[in-house]
Amino acid sequence: MSNSEKRQQKIVVIGAGLGGLSAAISLATEGFEVSLLDKNDKIGGKLNVMEKQGFIFDLGPSILTMPHIFRNLFEQAGRKLEDYVEFQTVEPHWRNFFEDGTVFDLSSDPDCMQNELRKLDERSVAEFEQFLAYAKKLGQTSEQGYFAEGLDTFTELLKHYGVINSLMEFDVLRCMDQGVRRFISNPKLVEVLNYFIKYVGSSPYDAPALLNLLPYIQFEYGLWYVKGGMYNLAIGMGKLAEELGVKIQLNSEVIRIDYKYDQASAVQLENGQILSADIIVSNMEVMPTGRKLLEQSEKQLQGLKRFAPSCSGLVMHLGVDRVYHQLAHHNFFYSDHPKQHFNAIFHDNQLSEDPTLYLVAPVKSDPGQAPEGCEIIKVLPHIPHIDPNKPLKHEDYMAFRERVLIKLERMGLTDLTKHIVCEETWTPLDIQANYYSTQGSIYGVVSDRFKNLGFKAPQRDRIIRNLYYVGGSVNPGGGMPMVTLSGQLVRNKILADLN
C-alpha cells in the first residue's frame, strides 16, 4: 500500500494510554490519518498525575525499564527521545525490608550486588549468578520471537520456536516460584525474586516460569525515572503525536463501535458525534470493549474468559511533613507469609492479613516533587480485583489501609500516620471508574499457566477483521514498555493485513 493510499485510510484509536499513544504515533508515522480519543481530560491513561497541596503525585506506574522501546518509537518517527523526555537511572534498583530487620539492596553494580547478597549468606552470590544466567536465556529467547515478532498465541509460539525448543527454552513445566527455587536456597532471596511478578500483577505460584525473564530485563536494561515526574513521558509522547498530525480529542467518550458482520465502520461518542473509521484500535481492555462498545453477550465473550483480570491495588499517595532517610526510591516491605499473601489475593478474593508492600519515595530522585523537608510516600499493596459476587466494601479497604500503615510503622517508618499532611488513596472501584479496566485490574490480564499459559488476549479481534487491541490486556502484556511495544506491534499487524 502506498503512502497516498494510507493517507486515505482513517484510523480511530480509542483510549490515550501509552498503548493508544504508541499505536497512534506508529500509524501516523506510516502516513495514516489517525484520530485519538479519550474519555478523560488528559492523555496517559493509567500514567496519570495529580498536584495537591504542593505534592506532585504520579498516580500510575512508577518503575520504568527497557528504555530502548521508547527510543525506537521516537526514532521510527525521525525524532530523538531526548528532545521530548529525559530519563535518569535509579540506583539502587530497590531496597528490601524484612520483619526480622534484614535490609539489602538490588543494585546494577555487580560488586555492590555481591556485597548486598553477602548480607544474606555467602552461597547466595554464586546462586544469584546462576539464576541470572537462567533468566537471561529466558529473556533473550523471548526478545527474539515473542517480542520482536509479536507472537499472539501458543500455536504461533510453537510454530516460531518449534515444539521441543518451546518446552525446553521456556521452562514450561514449572511455575515462576519453582523456577527460582531451582537455583536459590535463601528464602529471603526467593521472595525478592518471586516479587518481580509485581510487573504483571500475578502470583509466582501460578505464573509460568517464563516470567523469570523479568529480573533479566531489569538488570540488563536498568531501572529508570522520568525527570520531572513519570507523567512527562505521556506529555512527550503526546507532543510527538500532535507533530505527526494525530488528532487528539479529550473528554470524548466512545460508547459504541458500529459494525456489521465482521467489519467495523464507525465509533459513536457520548456527545452524539459519529466518526467513520476504516480501522479501529482499542486501548480499552478486550473484555470491556466487548461488553461496552460491541454490546456482546456473555456467551459471545466466553472464549475470552481464560484471560482473567490481574490483581488490583490499594494505591495510597501520602504527602508527609518529614523525610525518611532509610528509604530508597523504590522499596519493598515483605510478608512473613508470602504464599498465604498471594493465595488471599488470587484464590480467596480476600485482603491479605500480612501483605507485601511496594513503596515509592520519588523525592529521593526528584526533590521538586514535594515541598522542602517533605516526602512523598506512595504505597501499592496488591489486592484482589473486584468480584461482583463477593464485593468488598469501602470500609474493608479503609481497614486494610490502617493495617498497611501499622506495618510500615512497625518496620521503621516511625509515626508515619502522624506525619501525613496530604493523601490521595484509590481503591479498585476508583481504578475501574477512571480507566474502565476489567474489575479494577491494574495490569490487564493475569499470567496463569493453567488458565492461559501466561499469554494475554490476541491483538486482532476474533471476529471483526478491522478491529485491533493494544494495552495490558493483550500480548505482550502489562507495564509501560510492553504496552508501548503493543502499539508498535499493532502497526506491524495492520500493515501486514493491508498488504
Contact 484/474 with Cβ under 8 angstroms?
A: no
Task: Please give the single-letter amino acid code of residue 448.
Answer: D
pLDDT mean over 189-197 = 98
Contact 147/168 with Cβ under 8 angstroms?
A: no
Q: pLDDT by residue (tens digit) across 298-317?
A: 999 998 999 999 999 999 99
Question: Which grid coordinates belong to 459?
Answer: 491483538
CB atoms within 10 A of CB 409: 14
Sign, Cα dihedral of 408, 411, 414, 415: positive
Residues near 205 by beta carbon (within 8 Å), at least 6 away in sequence: 175, 176, 177, 339, 342, 343
Q: Distance (Å, rounded) from C-alpha 362 to C-alpha 338?
A: 26
Q: What is the model's pLDDT at position 357? A: 98
Report angle CA 418, 420, 424 to the nearest 5 degrees: 145
Q: pLDDT by residue (tens digit) across 384-429?
A: 999 999 999 999 999 999 999 999 999 999 999 999 999 999 999 9
CA 121 → CA 126, 128, 156, 213, 278, distances in Å? 10, 11, 43, 24, 60
Q: pLDDT by residue (tens digit) across 342-368?
A: 999 999 999 999 999 999 999 999 999
Query: Given a cut of 90, is residue 211 above it in pLDDT?
Result: yes
Task: Please give the single-letter amino acid code of residue 434.
Answer: N
Domains of the chain: 3-50+59-89+227-305+452-498 (3.50.50.60)
pLDDT mean over 214-236 = 97
pLDDT mean over 157-164 = 82
What pLDDT band is residue 172 in, cutting at 50, 70 and 90?
confident
CA 346 → CA 295, 349, 498, distances in Å? 28, 6, 41
Q: What is the model's pLDDT at position 6? A: 62
pTM for this predicted structure? 0.95
Q: Distance (Å, rounded) from C-alpha 214 to C-alpha 246?
A: 33
Question: Which grid coordinates belong to 78?
Answer: 525521525
**Closest Cα to residue 77, out of 199, 188, 239?**
239
Q: What is the model's pLDDT at position 154? A: 79
Contact 182/193 with Cβ under 8 angstroms?
A: no
Q: What is the model's pLDDT at position 8? A: 78
Question: Which grid coordinates belong to 75?
Answer: 526514532
Q: What is the model's pLDDT at position 399? A: 97
pLDDT mean over 68-82 = 97
Q: What is the model's pLDDT at position 69? A: 97
pLDDT mean over 135-160 = 89
Q: Distance (Å, rounded) from C-alpha 329 to C-alpha 88?
A: 12
Mean pLDDT score of the chain, rounded to an integer? 95
Q: What is the model's pLDDT at position 328? A: 98
pLDDT mean over 129-152 = 93
80: DSSP letter: -
* Bridge partners (DSSP) listed for residue 56: 51
Q: pLDDT by residue (tens digit) across 104-118?
A: 999 999 999 999 999
Query: Given a cut of 90, is residue 338 above it in pLDDT?
Result: yes
Contact 199/214 with Cβ under 8 angstroms?
A: yes
Q: What is the model's pLDDT at position 499? A: 86
Query: Given a cut of 70, is residue 329 above it in pLDDT?
Result: yes
Q: What is the model's pLDDT at position 155? A: 86
**Closest Cα to residue 175, out of 142, 224, 149, 212?**
212
Q: Distance (Å, rounded) from C-alpha 152 to C-alpha 168?
A: 20
Q: Distance (Å, rounded) from C-alpha 14 to C-alpha 227?
A: 28
Q: Is 242 exposed, middle or buried (0-12, 13-18, 19+ CB in 10 A)?
A: middle
Q: pLDDT by residue (tens digit) across 83-109?
A: 999 999 999 999 999 999 999 999 999
Q: Distance (Å, rounded) from C-alpha 100 to C-alpha 64?
A: 30
Lowest model confidence (mean pLDDT) among 63-67, 120-124, 216-220, 296-300: 296-300
Q: Distance (Å, rounded) from C-alpha 312 to C-alpha 346?
A: 10
Residues near 195 by beta carbon (within 8 Å), at least 6 away in sequence: 204, 332, 334, 356
- In degrees rounded to 5, what are phi and psi of residue 474? -120, 165
pLDDT above 70: percentage of residues in the chain: 98
Q: pLDDT by residue (tens digit) across 443-471?
A: 999 999 999 989 999 999 999 999 999 99
Residues near 306 by beta carbon (within 8 Å), at least 6 away in sequence: 451, 452
Query: Given a cut of 70, is residue 1 above it in pLDDT?
Result: no
